[in-house]
Amino acid sequence: TWRKHQTSGFKDKDGFEREVVRHVETTLARSLYNCDEAAAYSATALAFRDRLILEWNRTQQRQTFVDSKRVYYLSLEFLMGRALDNAMLNVGQKELAKVGLSELGFRIEDVIQQEHDAALGNGGLGRLAACFLDSLASLNYPAWGYGLRYRYGIFKQEIIDGYQVEVPDYWLDFNPWEFPRHDVTVDIQFYGSVEKKTNDAGRTVCHWEGGETVKAVAYDMPIPGHATPTTNNLRLWSSKAASGEFDFQKFNSGDYESSVADQQRAETISAVLYPNDNLDRGKELRLKQQYFWVAASLYDIVRRFKKTKRPWNEFPEQVAIQLNDTHPTLAIVELQRILVDLEGLEWDEAWNIVVNTFGYTNHTVLPEALEKWSVPLVQHLLPRHLQIIYDINLFFLQKVERKFPGDVQLLRDVSIIEESQPKMVRMAYLAIVGSHKVNGVAELHSELIQATIFKDFVRIFGPDKFTNVTNGITPRRWLHQANPRLSELIASKTGGYGFLKDLTQLNQLELHVNDKQFRKEWAEIKYANKVRLAKHITATTGITVNPTALFDVQVKRIHEYKRQQMNIFGAIHRYLTLKAMSPEERQKQLPRVSIFGGKAAPGYWMAKQIIHLINSVGAVINNDKDIGDLLKVVFVEDYNVSKAEMIIPASDISEHISTAGTEASGTSNMKFVLNGGLIIGTCDGANIEITREIDEPNIFLFGHLSEEVEPLRHAHRYGAASPLDPDLARVFEEIEKGTFGNPQDFAGMISAVRDHGDYYLVSDDFSSYIATHDAVDEAYRDQEGWITKCITSVSRMGFFSSDRCINEYAEGIWNVEPLKVGEHA
Ligand code: 26Q
C-alpha cells in the first residue's frame, strides 16, 4: 500500500521541480528570476500540499465508507511547529525535494527555515496533542483533532536588557496548510435565558432563547501519517459575526463604526491563545472560547453521526471524544443538552450515552491549575448549561448518598459545585463524573491523582474508572526530523527505518555498543549538532561557546515548580567555586555551557525575575576573564518547537528538576534521551519510568522523593526545617552584594526560599543537586563511558513512542481499531 501511495507523490525530481516552478509563476504570480527563499518555501509547500490533499480526500472517503468508530481529540492547544519538513518526510520525498531545490538554486535547510511555526499552544499539553495527531495518522486510526484557530499563537519572546518582552505572534499571513471551509459553519449562542415549555407530547422541555449569536467557521489542516496514505484532519474554528448580528440598522443610519465594532467583538473569541500554562484565571473570554469551540465541534460530530441514520444508543459505538485536560469539559454538558433538549431523549438514556462517549485526561496536580468557573459567570453566559450542571450534580450526589449514607462531609467534598463565595463549578469533578475513563499522564502522576485530589472519586466509582497512560513523543519529528544524521546512523545498524514505526527496534543498537566505528560516528554527530547550536548562540547573543564543553540544557516554560531558579543558583555556585580556585586548579576543571530557554507567562512576576537573573548572571560570568570557557551562561530567546528541534539534539545533559510530585510527566525528558543526551532529574513524572527503562547508571537522579515533600513543607511552616543550605546561603550573599546587578531585582526569589517557606524545596534539594552535577562532570570526563551510557539509553527508549501511547488509549479508553488501508481506496 505504501508503494501505491507513491503514485500520488511526485514521480521524480523533475516532476517536483515542474510543480514548484508552476506555483512560483502562477499561484504566486512571480517570475523565476526574482524567486527568493521565501517564495521557494511557498511554492514547495504548495507543491507538497497538492499531494497531501489527494490522500486527505481519499482518507476521509475511506473512513466514511467503512463507517467505523472515530476518535475526536478536543484540545485548546495544538503546538504543531513547522509542517513542510514533516510533510516531506512523512510522504517519503524529502530526498527528491532536496535535489530538486538544489537544482533550482536553493538549500533545502534554508527553505525549510522560512516557515513560521504554528504555535497554537503553551508547552507540554499542546505539543502532546500534536504528537498524538502524528501517531493517530501514522497508525491509521480514523481520528480528528478539534481546536481553535487563534489569530495570535503564543507570543514571541524578545529579551531586552535581560528582561522578557512579549511580541504578538501573527502567523496567518501566508499559511498554505489551512483550508477555509466557508460552507462549514455553526451558529453559537451565548447569554439569553431559559424558558420552560410543554411540547405536543405533554413533556416539559427547556428552550434556551435570546442572547447573541456568533458564527464558527471551520478551517481544516491535513495531518499526514508517516509512510501511509492516511491523512487525517485537524479542524480549527474561527469566530465571525453571525450574519443576522451584523447590525444593518446601525450601518444604514450611519453608525458604521459601531457596527464594525460588533463584528470585531465576535472575532475576538478566537483572537488569542491564553499564554498561561498551569494556571487558571477565570476570565470570561476564556470561558467563551471554551464554549464556542466545544459547541461547534459537537455540532459537527453530531451532524456526522446523524448522517449514518443510526439510533442514538449507538453514538458511543461510533464516537470517542477525548478531553485534553478540563478545558473542553463543557462538551459533556453540551452533549447532554443536545440529546435532552434538542433530540428529546430521556435524561438517563442521554446521560448513559454521554458518559460512554467521553474520556478525560488530567495533566496536573497543582491546585492553582485546577479549573473553576464562578456560578454567576456560567449562569450569565450559559444559563441552560448551568441548570444541566446542577442536575448532573444532583443525580451524582444522590448516587453518592445511596452508596455512603449520611456522609455529609463527603457530599460537600465531591460536589461539582463548591459552596464558596461566589459558588464555583469544579471542572475536573464535572469531567470525572461525565467520563467513563480518567487518566493521568505518567505512573507516579496517575497514582498521585488517585491518592490525593481525586481520592473520593476512586471510592465512589471504584478503581477501574481511573488509569494511567504514560505520555510519549513522535520519533518522526523528535528523532528523524530533528536529528537526521543520528536517524540515519541508527537505520544503518537496525536494518532500515523500521524503528520510526516500531520504536522498540532501537534495542538492536545495544548489540553495537562496542563497535568502534559506530561509536565514533555517534560522537561526531553529537559534536556536529553542538556546533550548529553554538553558531546559533553566537549569531543571536554574541556569546561564543566552545562546542567541546559540556552542554547543560534546561528548556521549558519558566515556572517555580520546574525550578529554573535552582539551576541558576547552581551556576552561581559553580562560578564562585571556580573563582576561589588557583589558576592551576582551575585549568583542570571541565568547561561547561549552561543553556536556558523558555517563556514566562506575561503576568507571572516571579518567572520573569528568574529570566532576568539568568541573563544578569550570564552578563557577569561570560565576561569574566578568569573564567573564560570554563563556564558560560546562555539564555536562548523565544524557545519554540523549531528551536527545540535544534537544541535537543545538541545537549549532553538536560535538566528535569521539578520538585518531586509536581511535574505530571514531562515529555522533553524523553526527547533528550532519544537524541543521545543524558539527563539529570528528580524522581518525578516520567523521569521515573525513563529510569526503569534505561537503568539507574544511565541517569543522574537527585533530591527528595514525592512522599517526603509534604513533611518537609510542613516543617518549613512550623519552623522545624533544616537551616538554609550553606552553599545556597553563599549564593544569596553574592546576589545581595550586587555582583549580578541591583539585588532589589532578585529579592523576591531569595525571600521565597529563605523567608516564605521554600515551597518548592530549593534549599532542601540544593546539596544533592550540586553533588549530582559533580557526578555529571566526573562521568563526562570518561568520554568512552559516557558514549556507552548514551547509546545504551537510546536503545532502551522504545517505550516512549507516542505510537505506544496512542495504542493504549485506543485499546483501553476509546475501543477503536486502526483502519486497514489500501482496501477501499
Ligand atoms: C487553564 C485555565 C485558564 C487558562 C489557561 C489554562 C491552562 C493552559 C495550559 C492550564 C494548563 C495548561 C497547560 C498545561 C500543561 O502543559 N501541562 C503539561 O502537560 C504535559 C503533557 O501531559 C506534561 O508532560 C507536563 O508535566 C504538564 O505540566
pLDDT tens per residue across span 102-113: 999 999 999 999
Distance CA 19, CA 375 (A): 56
Q: Please work out whether the CB of residue 371 comes within 6 Å of at least one atom of ligand 1.
A: yes
The verdict on residue 372 lying in a domain is yes
Give the pLDDT mean for 213-239.
Answer: 97
Q: Measured in angstroms, how far is the CA atom of residue 137 from the centroid of ligand 1?
A: 24
Which of 148, 278, 438, 555 for mutating ligand 1's site (highest number of atoms within 8 Å of CB)? 278
Q: Please work out whether the CB of residue 472 comes within 6 Å of at least one atom of ligand 1.
A: no
Q: What is the DSSP string of 570-604?
A: HHHHHHHHHHTS-HHHHHTSPPEEEEEE-PPPTT-
- Pick the catalytic residue from 94, 465, 501, 562: 562
Residue 244 and residue 141 share a domain? yes
Counting atoms of ligand 1 from 1, which one is nearest the CA of 276? 5
The set of long-range contacts for 59-65, using a CB threshold of 8 Å and a minimum separation of 24, is: 59/229, 59/230, 59/231, 59/232, 60/233, 61/824, 62/819, 62/821, 62/824, 62/825, 63/142, 63/819, 65/824
pLDDT tens per residue across span 595-613: 999 999 999 999 999 999 9
Q: Measured in angstroms, how far is the CA atom of residue 367 from the centroid of ligand 1?
A: 12
Query: Can you say whether the dihedral through the CA atoms of 67, 71, 76, 82 is positive or negative?
Result: negative
Distance CA 74, CA 359 (A): 10
Residue 247 has a pLDDT of: 62
The verdict on residue 579 lying in a domain is yes
> pLDDT band at 373, cuts 50/70/90?
very high
Note whether 522 and 790 are within 8 A (CB).
yes
The domain tally of the chain equals 2
Q: Measured in angstroms, how far is the CA atom of residue 445 from the centroid of ligand 1?
A: 14
The verdict on residue 179 lying in a domain is yes
Give the pLDDT mean for 410-432.
Answer: 98
Burial tier of 265 (Cβ tally within 10 Å: 0-12, 13-18, 19+): middle
Residue 605 and residue 727 share a domain? yes
Note whether 274 and 120 are within 8 A (CB).
no
Distance CA 451, CA 659 (A): 18
Query: Can you say whether the dihedral through the CA atoms of 245, 248, 251, 254 is positive or negative?
Result: negative
Q: Measured in angstroms, how far is the CA atom of residue 237 from the centroid of ligand 1?
A: 21
DSSP structural state of residue 681: E
- 7 noted as active-site residue: no
Lookup result for grid cell 480528528: 144
- Pick the catalytic residue from 667, 682, 772, 789: 667
Note whether 684 and 658 are within 8 A (CB).
yes
Q: Measured in angstroms, how far is the CA atom of residue 361 from the centroid of ligand 1?
A: 11
- The three-state secondary structure class of 373 is strand
- Pick the catalytic residue from 556, 563, 612, 632: 556
Note whether 686 and 471 are within 8 A (CB).
yes
Q: Please work out whether the CB of residue 450 comes within 6 Å of at least one atom of ligand 1.
A: no
Write out the H or E segment, with its range, that includes residue 72: strand 70-74
Lookup result for grid cell 570554563: 630
Give the pLDDT mean for 539-559.
Answer: 98
CA distances 414 to 286, 408, 456, Å, are 25, 10, 7
DSSP structural state of residue 511: G
Residue 464 and residue 557 share a domain? no
Q: Please work out whether the CB of residue 604 comes within 6 Å of at least one atom of ligand 1.
A: no
- 403 noted as active-site residue: no
Note whether 803 and 139 are within 8 A (CB).
yes
User: Helix 37-66 to helix 13-22 angle, to the nearest 10 degrees?
Assistant: 110
Residue 712 and residue 586 share a domain? yes
Give the pLDDT mean for 697-725.
Answer: 96
Give the pLDDT mean for 217-227.
Answer: 98
Q: What is the DSSP string of 154-187?
A: SPEEEEETTEEEEE--B--SS-TT-EEEEEEEEE
Residue 417 and residue 564 share a domain? no
Residue 245 has a pLDDT of: 60
- 671 noted as active-site residue: yes
Burial tier of 299 (Cβ tally within 10 Å: 0-12, 13-18, 19+): middle
DSSP structural state of residue 275: -
pLDDT tens per residue across span 518-547: 999 999 999 999 999 999 999 999 999 999
Distance CA 328, CA 74 (A): 7
Residue 295 and residue 156 share a domain? yes
Q: Please work out whether the CB of residue 684 comes within 6 Å of at least one atom of ligand 1.
A: no
User: Helix 762-781 to helix 726-737 angle, to the nearest 10 degrees?
Assistant: 100
Q: Measured in angstroms, how far is the CA atom of residue 119 from the centroid of ligand 1?
A: 15
Residue 6, pLDDT > 60, answer no
Distance CA 503, CA 487 (A): 12
Q: Please work out whether the CB of residue 124 comes within 6 Å of at least one atom of ligand 1.
A: yes
- Pick the catalytic residue from 69, 98, 363, 632: 363
Residue 48 has a pLDDT of: 97
The verdict on residue 333 lying in a domain is yes
**Nearest CA-CA partner of 16 in 94, 110, 89:** 94
Q: Please work out whether the CB of residue 277 comes within 6 Å of at least one atom of ligand 1.
A: yes
Give the pLDDT mean for 214-232.
Answer: 97
CA angle 381, 385, 426 (to 5 degrees): 90
Peptide bond into 422 cis (omega under 30): yes
Distance CA 294, CA 300 (A): 10
Counting atoms of ligand 1 from 1, which one is nearest the CA of 663? 26
Residue 230 and residue 355 share a domain? yes
- Pick the catalytic residue from 156, 557, 612, 643: 557
Note whether 735 and 750 are within 8 A (CB).
yes
**Nearest CA-CA partner of 326 in 263, 381, 371:** 371
Counting atoms of ligand 1 from 1, which one is nearest the CA of 361? 22
Distance CA 363, CA 711 (A): 24
Residue 464 and residue 590 share a domain? no
Residue 3 has a pLDDT of: 45
User: Helix 564-579 to helix 605-621 angle, to the nearest 10 degrees?
Assistant: 20
Residue 459 and residue 554 share a domain? no
Q: By alpha-carbon position, which residue is closest to atom 15 of ligand 1?
A: 125
Residue 824 has a pLDDT of: 35
Counting atoms of ligand 1 from 1, which one is nearest the CA of 121? 9
Domain with 336 in it: 67-82+117-434+443-470+808-814
Supply the CATH number for residue 75's domain: 3.40.50.2000
Q: Measured in angstroms, how far is the CA atom of residue 273 from the centroid of ligand 1?
A: 13
Distance CA 447, CA 442 (A): 9
Q: By alpha-carbon position, which residue is closest to atom 19 of ligand 1?
A: 125
Q: Measured in angstroms, how far is the CA atom of residue 281 from the centroid of ligand 1?
A: 13
Distance CA 575, CA 78 (A): 40
Q: Which residues contact 473 (CB under 8 A, 6 or more apart)?
A: 131, 667, 670, 671, 674, 800, 801, 802
CA angle 268, 323, 298 (to 5 degrees): 60
Note whether 131 and 473 are within 8 A (CB).
yes
The verdict on residue 496 lying in a domain is no
Note whether 270 and 239 are within 8 A (CB).
yes
Residue 825 has a pLDDT of: 33
Residue 253 and residue 134 share a domain? yes
Give the pLDDT mean for 323-352.
Answer: 98
Largest Cα–Cα distance of the chain, in whole Å? 95
Q: ipTM higher than 0.90? A: yes
> pLDDT band at 4, cuts 50/70/90?
very low
Residue 559 and residue 418 share a domain? no
Residue 282 has a pLDDT of: 82
DSSP structural state of residue 116: P
Share of the chain above pLDDT 90, in %: 93
Q: By alpha-carbon position, which residue is closest to atom 2 of ligand 1?
A: 280
Counting atoms of ligand 1 from 1, which one is nearest the CA of 281? 3
Give the pLDDT mean for 139-167.
Answer: 98
Residue 732, pLDDT > 50, answer yes
Q: Measured in angstroms, how far is the CA atom of residue 394 from the centroid of ligand 1?
A: 30
Q: Please work out whether the CB of residue 176 comes within 6 Å of at least one atom of ligand 1.
A: no
SS (H, E, C) 615-651: HHHHHHHCCCCCCHHHEEEEEECCCCHHHHHHHHHHC
CA distances 745 to 624, 637, 714, 761, Å, are 22, 20, 29, 21
Write out the H or E segment, with its range, that includes residue 447: helix 443-451
Residue 457 and residue 591 share a domain? no
Q: Please work out whether the CB of residue 570 comes within 6 Å of at least one atom of ligand 1.
A: no
Distance CA 569, CA 280 (A): 29
- The three-state secondary structure class of 296 is helix
Residue 258 has a pLDDT of: 78
Q: By alpha-carbon position, which residue is closest to atom 25 of ligand 1?
A: 666
DSSP structural state of residue 523: H
Q: Measured in angstroms, how far is the CA atom of residue 327 from the centroid of ligand 1?
A: 10
- 181 noted as active-site residue: no
Residue 255 has a pLDDT of: 76
Which of 277, 283, 371 for mutating ligand 1's site (highest number of atoms within 8 Å of CB)? 277
Q: Please work out whether the CB of residue 275 comes within 6 Å of at least one atom of ligand 1.
A: no
Residue 248 has a pLDDT of: 61
pLDDT tens per residue across span 356-371: 999 999 999 998 899 9
The verdict on residue 15 lying in a domain is no
Q: Measured in angstroms, how far is the CA atom of residue 278 from the centroid of ligand 1?
A: 5
Q: By alpha-carbon position, which residue is closest to atom 1 of ligand 1?
A: 280
Q: What is the DSSP string of 707-748?
A: HHHHHHHHHHHTT-SPPPPHHHHHHHHHHHHTTTS-GGGGHH
- 667 noted as active-site residue: yes
The verdict on residue 371 lying in a domain is yes
Give the pLDDT mean for 236-259.
Answer: 77
Q: Please work out whether the CB of residue 280 comes within 6 Å of at least one atom of ligand 1.
A: yes
Distance CA 578, CA 140 (A): 55
pLDDT tens per residue across span 255-294: 777 778 888 999 999 999 999 988 888 899 999 999 999 9
Q: Measured in angstroms, how far is the CA atom of residue 124 from the centroid of ligand 1?
A: 7
Q: By alpha-carbon position, which residue is closest to atom 4 of ligand 1?
A: 280
The verdict on residue 6 lying in a domain is no
Q: By alpha-carbon position, which residue is closest to atom 3 of ligand 1?
A: 280
Q: Please work out whether the CB of residue 664 comes within 6 Å of at least one atom of ligand 1.
A: yes
Distance CA 324, CA 300 (A): 18
Share of the chain above pLDDT 70, in %: 97
Which of 74, 79, 122, 125 for mutating ligand 1's site (highest number of atoms within 8 Å of CB)? 125
Q: Measured in angstroms, how far is the CA atom of residue 168 from the centroid of ligand 1?
A: 21
Residue 822 has a pLDDT of: 64
Note whether 709 and 444 are within 8 A (CB).
no
Give the pLDDT mean for 667-694.
Answer: 98
Residue 636's DSSP bridge partners are 597
